[in-house]
Amino acid sequence: MFKKALIIVAFLTAGVTGLLADDWIGTFWGDARGEWKGTIYADQDPIIFKGTWVNDAGEEGALYAEGEIIGSDYVFEKGDAYNSDGVLVGHWSGKFPIWTDAYVTGPWEGLHGESGKWGGYRP
């Protein structure tokens, strides 16, 4: 009986941990094109998105946002994009479903007028 209880606890812990760190990958397009990947950390208050991006020119950087749960989505009203030197280069926004595996999209904009869309999914 004790062994069975441990297995159930391990299963539940793995399930909860899966909800606390949620990985996403995708692309962006518009005035710049490339790929991004990131993780939503739902065990934080506020919820945190941390990721990376690389464009077709080989430039790369980091993505960061603080968000909240609204309904059944993680919502990030204003995320930041940084270059490899840690300098802010743009912003993005979007919402990610908590419970479903949907394709998500949102806008991005650079600090010098560049703009476009991004899209992604859970791998």
64 vs 44: CA distance, rounded Å: 13
CATH 3.30.420 for the 21-121 domain, yes or no = no
Task: Tell me the whole-structure pTM to 2 decimals.
Answer: 0.83
User: What DSSP element (H or E) covers 47?
Assistant: strand 47-55
Q: Note the pLDDT tens digit of each residue in 7-52.
A: 333 333 334 434 468 999 999 999 999 999 999 999 989 999 999 9
CA-closest candidate to residue 83, choices 112, 116, 54? 54
37 and 64 Cβ atoms separated by less than 8 Å: no
Instruction: Name the nearest CA neighbour of 65 among 84, 51, 85.
Output: 51
The 10s digit of each residue's pLDDT in 48-79 is: 999 999 999 999 999 999 999 999 999 999 99
Helix (H, G, I), strand (E, B) or coil at 20: helix
